[in-house]
Amino acid sequence: MANHSQFGFQDASSPIMEELVEFHDHALMVALAICSLVLYLLALMLMEKLSSNTVDAQEVELVWTILPAIVLIMLALPSLQILYMMDEIDEPDLTLKAIGHQWYWSYEYTDFKDLTFDSYMIPTPDLPLGNFRLLEVDHRIVIPMESPIRVIVTADDVLHSWAVPSLGVKTDAIPGRLNQTSFIATRPGIFYGQCSEICGANHSFMPIVVESAPLNHFENWSSLLSS
């Protein structure tokens, strides 16, 4: 989860999030190179080392036509690769259905017969010592780590958005429509997210908590909850 005064992304806990962080760093380096070039040319103009003849030269026009195209290609290729990776869903080990309500989430494990529950935020007065305000829920999602997970997202009333930054997932929940996303949690842990679409007065009070655990822990949890 995010730390106090953190400047940057949360620790990546899925391959998709790792790719997004790398692309962010790549895009920043490209932006830094562009800013450096612009500042260098501005300095040359201020020192009057560039004349109107230089600016109007055909070679310069050729450079500032080709260079932006190269920059766009450098940004487009990795971006498209990540987009295709995010849309690719190959034989998930577990399918989870998330349904947004005003103002809570309900979950269905479609691979199990009777494994469904509602997930409400724990109010601050009822919060156990050491837990996080506005982030803890009464029922967490538990998933097996290092397993492909598919999440089907929809809504019961208004627009919502199911988002967990550490896992690199954010999917709109739209009434009457099923959207889907997938991820693989690469390490055990508890990952926090929130509804990322303004959905009414209590939009800020419908957090998401995903617990990634070893397979045997998940099997024990699922058998206990479905019994």
Instruction: List, in order, residues 6 or more apart from 212 with CB less than 8 Å away.
Output: 13, 143, 144, 145, 185, 187, 188, 189, 190, 191
Encoded tokens for 98: 């998330």
The yes-or-no verdict on residue 227 having pLDDT over 90 is no
Please report the pLDDT score of residue 88 as a whole number.
82
Which residue is it, tokens 């998933």? 143
Beta bridge partners of 161: 172
Please report the pLDDT score of residue 176 as a whole number.
93
Rounded CA gap, 61 and 41, in Å? 14
Encoded tokens for 185: 């949690």
Across the range 127-138, mean pLDDT stands at: 89
Q: Judging by DSSP bridges, how do beta strands 189-195 and 160-164 pair with one another?
A: antiparallel
Minimum mean pLDDT among 55-59, 163-167, 211-215: which range?
A: 55-59
Please report the pLDDT score of residue 40 as a whole number.
87
In this structure, how many other beta carbons lie within 10 angstroms of the beta carbon of residue 155? 25
Residue 10: what residue type? Q
In the β-sheet with 148-155, what is the strand arrangement from edge to edge?
116-119, 104-109, 94-101, 148-155, 179-184
Rounded CA gap, 106 and 138, in Å? 12
The yes-or-no verdict on residue 44 having pLDDT over 90 is no
Phi/psi at 25 (nearest 5 deg)? -65, -40
* Residue 91 burial (C-beta neighbours within 10 Å; 0-12, 13-18, 19+): exposed
